Chains A and B, each alone.
Chain A
Amino acid sequence: MSPVLEALLLQAGYNAALVAIGAALLGFAAGAAGSFLFLRKRALVSDALAHATLPGIALAFMIMVALGGEGRALAGLMAGAAVSAALGLLAVEWLASRTRLPEDAAIGAVLSSLFGLGVVLLTVIQTMERGRQAGLESFLLGSTAGMLRVDAVVIGLGGAAAVLAVWLLRRPMTLVAFDPGFAAASGLSVRRTDLAMMAIVLLVTVTGLKLVGLILIVALLIIPAVTARFWTERAGGVMWIAAGIGGVSGYVGAAISASAPALPTGPIIVLVATGLFAASLLLAPARGVAAAVVRQRRFQRRVHLRQGLLALGKGEPIHDALSLRLLRAEGLIRADRVATQAGREAAEEVARDERRWAVARQVHQDGGLTGRYDGLTPITEVFAPDQVAAFDREMS
């Protein structure tokens, strides 16, 4: 059995299994929470939030050491991270609402200055006697090596709590994401809903620190949501699909990471999610690039075929290569460009359609149905048979 498969089946050891399950839960929660952030067009706020955790982690470590503890208890560090991330979020909101700064500048300012402060505090810790082995740098990029059972339980609980909160708040959050004005008019507090959404994002961020690291956690909030958007037009759909993509990325990424050394968990999870994103961008049925190309080509064929038939009906020569190829492939013209029997019939059909449309646009000048004339749609798809018959009478 290959190492990756082994890890996927949770056979690669106790620690690897813990990490995989924790990563799956975290990815699931991050995907669900991130989808609302994305729909509300505030995806990058989470980046400020994530970077703002660093000073909190460092201060929490110092406080725990000062109180005589070991300083590395994950729950304590997470609490510190949550406090400073919340302060960072408040700072972003304050800057964006009370000053002339746009939100993106507020995000960047808070992100960089609080992260800078965190780095300063990290270097202070390095000079402390207990700080040398603190390994707080591992929170930058996440580290699953030597993860304790209690850490995995904390991550699992955090992920589960976030999923539950998203599920409970999905209705108000959907409403606010799509139409804040309507949400406010129906008695919902937009501000409070936004705050609740950010609280969930905060929970996910703090939970993911150990596993993915504060620089990359934003990827788990953004990429699954953006990916899910390719597959559905429904808000509820985006949420569940994003959660699924996040969960799969977390699980598969953790398994791949466990299968060999020097495969850091956080980046691998992010790259698995990116792979799913790229596949969706290319292959998604309605919004994907491949589908768009196919649609475009179909449209092109219809236009060329129609124009070719119109020219055929009027007895004009056809010069366009694509039109000729299409007519030939459909058996409407012969190799010497003379129309076949079927070609003459089809050309007559198209010409009659155009004449009917011309009458229809004179009779119904009020737009509506005749507005659907685009030189391609057969009139029988727009008007009822009796109306078409009326146009025919009008013509003769």
Chain B
Amino acid sequence: MGAEFVQLSLTPILIGVLAAIACALPGNFLVLRRQALIGDAISHVVLPGIVVAFLMTGAIAAVPMLLGAAGAALVAVGLIEAIRRLGKIEPGAAMGVVFTALFAAGVLMLERTDTSAVHLDVEHALMGNLESLIWFSADGWASLVDPAALAELPPELGRMAITCAIVAVLTLIFWRPLKLSTFDEGFARTLGLPVALIGLGLVATAALAAVAAFDAVGSIIVIAMFICPPAAARMLTNRLGRQVGLSALIAAGSAIVGYVAAGYGPIWLGGGDSVSAAGMIAAISGLVLAAAARFGPCRHRLGAGAEAV
């Protein structure tokens, strides 16, 4: 646990943790509102967004790509809503049409462009490259107080930290309206809360988290963290505050355990190279959910406990 750890593993773990928490926080409300798959849809449509950004700027730069991804997410949400209303199609199917079509368009554009010079492909979009976000200039724990080394931190860390902070602050500020409109939309409306606006704001926050996290860690983690930690926390408690806290803990824990298991597990098992950290983190969060679904004290629907046992 020395210099090598700080250089190679500390920043990816931190980025993973921040990304996981940023996704898990809005995920709680999405799961409760039965919009859990919005995260899935957003992380698919991010691909055409970044490809378009790449085509327009001709370079792999973070800001245009984030803008492109955010734009694509907005377009997708608008299209889903339009198809749902114009075609009177149920939301799940409308979502399925939109995100697969946009993803297909993204793949096609990617194939038609010469991206051999840059690191841009579908697998990268799916799996991210968490392992590559290393802190080159660090040479031990002392680097944490060394301004020169700190200036060389991977930029993803700063972006992810800001995103995570924004999401956390938004969740705190809008806690009451979010809670009210999630559990009793009619009541929230009678109180004069702008229910539709709150819903839209939630989706926009989720999109922000997804787009920022996607850049650093790939879309598998995004989808998993939107759903698995909140769902697991939901089985452990009946109180929203505790659920949100627990989900953040589970998300962070999955990120740490997943990263360590992917990076060091194969070596401990006597194998050779490390395996995909993004995949491992998603799989671990799934395991936590499985355990919570099997043993969690609040796993049953209210009133369904008796016959479900």
Contact = CB atoms under 8 A, between A and B. Distances in A.
B101 A95 contact: no
B235 A114 contact: no
A356 B287 CA distance: 73
Given A116-B224, A123-B275, A266-B104, A140 B37 contact: no
A137 B31 CA distance: 31
Contacts of A349: none
Contact of B235 (A100, A267, A281): A100
Interface string B287-309: 10110010010111110100010
A283 to B, nearest CB: 12
B223 interface: yes
A104 B92 contact: yes
B285 to A, nearest CB: 6
Contacts of A106: 231
B226 interface: yes
Nearest to B122: A141
Contacts of A91: 290
B3 interface: no
B251 interface: no
B301 to A, nearest CB: 4
A32 interface: no
Interface string B227-263: 1101100110000000000000000000000000010
Interface in A263-298: 263-264, 266-268, 270-271, 274, 277, 281, 287, 289, 292
A270 B279 contact: no
Contacts of B86: 281, 289, 292
Contact of A219 (B101, B226, B266, B287): B101
B111 interface: yes
Interface string B140-183: 00000000000000000000000000000000000000000000
B277 to A, nearest CB: 9
A43 B93 contact: yes
B234 to A, nearest CB: 7
Interface in A215-263: 215-216, 218-219, 222-223, 225-226, 229-230, 262-263
Contacts of B35: 104
Given A101-B231, A124-B275, A47 B40 contact: yes
B202 interface: no
B133 interface: no
A26 interface: no
B278 interface: yes
Interface in A27-56: 38, 41-44, 47
Contact of B278 (A104, A111, A116, A274): A116
A218 B282 CA distance: 21
B97 A104 contact: no
A104 B223 CA distance: 12
B93 A104 contact: no
Contacts of A268: 104, 108
B107 A119 contact: no
Contacts of B290: 91
Given A99-B300, A112-B286, A226-B89, A119 B108 contact: no
B255 to A, nearest CB: 12
A116 B230 CA distance: 18
A261 B153 CA distance: 41
Contact of B293 (A99, A108, A266): A99
A226 B84 CA distance: 11
A183 B16 CA distance: 48
Contacts of A120: 262, 275-276, 279-280, 283
Interface string B93-121: 11111001101110110011000000000
A109 B228 contact: yes
Contacts of B12: none
Chain A binding surface, main DSSP class:
helix
B19 interface: no
B207 interface: no
Nearest to B308: A98
Contact of B100 (A98, A100, A222): A222
Contact of B92 (A44, A98, A267): A44
Interface string A89-102: 00100110011111
A389 B298 CA distance: 71
Residue from A38, A108, A115, A124 whose CB has the most chain B CB atoms within 10 Å: A108
B279 A271 contact: no
B248 to A, nearest CB: 17
Given A118-B279, A137-B123, A112 B36 contact: no
A113 B271 contact: no
B155 to A, nearest CB: 25
B276 A264 contact: no
Nearest to A102: B34
B103 A99 contact: no
A80 B194 CA distance: 49
A226 B93 contact: yes
Given A116-B281, A223-B100, A267 B108 contact: yes
Contacts of B88: 287
A44 B283 contact: no
8 contacts: A113-B289, A115-B282, A116-B221, A119-B279, A122-B279, A219-B104, A222-B96, A267-B103
Interface of A: 38, 41-44, 47, 91, 94-95, 98-102, 104-120, 122-124, 126-127, 137, 140-141, 215-216, 218-219, 222-223, 225-226, 229-230, 262-264, 266-268, 270-271, 274, 277, 281, 287, 289, 292
Interface of B: 31, 34-37, 39-40, 44, 83, 86-90, 92-97, 100-101, 103-105, 107-108, 111-112, 122-123, 126-127, 220-221, 223-224, 226-228, 230-231, 234-235, 262, 266, 271-276, 278-283, 285-287, 289-290, 293, 296, 298-302, 304, 308
Given A99-B296, A108-B226, A274-B97, 18 more contacts: A38-B93, A104-B35, A105-B36, A109-B228, A112-B40, A113-B285, A116-B221, A117-B279, A119-B278, A120-B262, A218-B100, A219-B97, A219-B104, A222-B96, A222-B100, A223-B101, A263-B108, A264-B108
